[in-house]
Amino acid sequence: SQQGEEDPQALSIQEGENATMNCSYKTSINNLQWYRQNSGRGLVHLILIRSNEREKHSGRLRVTLDTSKKSSSLLITASRAADTASYFCATALISYKLSFGAGTTVTVRA
Amino acid sequence: SQTIHQWPATLVQPVGSPLSLECTVEGTSNPNLYWYRQAAGRGLQLLFYSVGIGQISSEVPQNLSASRPQDRQFILSSKKLLLSDSGFYLCARQEINTGELFFGEGSRLTVL
């Protein structure tokens, strides 16, 4: 069964705008990771946040984690056409088993 | 660099035919390896993972099997394909220190 669930399922924004997507999960976790998937390609790791961290940045990405609410958010600032992709959160209780959500499909319009 | 090769990239097979998808990993020893399946527009379903040669753990009972004959080789097989086996199959290697997954480019299987 899927541990993480992303919301919204789809998001369409104008280039330059920010995109925010959320991930909710059900059980305690060791860490939470975000991945990007371009159409027809493999997934690419974006960022990992540990359960004892609350916020993490990587370039134009900002991830927050609220373990009390069992939720995380991914913010992409100043979006570009190249950010068009599906974004997945993945949670790990036991480090060798990652459980993925169904993803948020982001479309950035030029 | 650590690269993951998957082949074939695309496969169209009739129902009842056998399947063999291969994944090889370069540049690392004794990696944790994973097979995931992604149905169209869906998330990833963990099928198998392996922490070493000959060690396979199955997550979902089905007509697929996996083998790890060599340290850097992970094979997904089926004796008789079903229509429901169609999907995008992704092999991944796990970074031990962080738990991050590094994925191959996938094998797209269509069962007709």
Q: Is the pLDDT of residue B41 over 70?
A: yes
Q: Strand, helix or coil at A83?
A: helix
pLDDT at A1: 46
Q: Which fold has domain B4-111?
A: Immunoglobulin-like (2.60.40)
The tens place of each residue's pLDDT in chain A, 110 residues long, gives: 446 788 899 999 999 999 999 999 988 888 899 999 999 999 999 999 999 999 999 999 999 999 999 999 999 999 999 999 999 999 987 767 788 888 999 999 99
The minimal CB distance from B43 to the residues A44, A88, A97 is found for: A88
**Gap between the Cα atoms of A58 and A77, Å rounded:** 11
A51 CB near a chain B CB, below 8 Å? Answer: no
Distances from the Cα of B16 to the Cαs of B2, B10, B109, in angstroms? 35, 18, 14
**Gap between the Cα atoms of A102 and A9, Å rounded:** 8
Say if the Cβ atoms of A42 and B106 lie within 8 Å. Answer: yes
Q: Enumerate the domain spans of chain B.
A: 4-111
The minimal CB distance from B99 to the residues A2, A43, A95 is found for: A95
Round to the nearest angstrom and report the end-to-end CA distance of chain B. 37
Domains of chain A, first to last: 5-109 (2.60.40.10)
Share of chain B above pLDDT 70, in %: 97
Q: Which residues of A touch B99 (CB under 8 A)?
A: 30-31, 33, 48, 92, 95-96, 98
CA distance A20 to chain B (A): 19
Q: Is the pLDDT of residue B61 over 80?
A: no
**Gap between the Cα atoms of A97 and A90, Å rounded:** 10
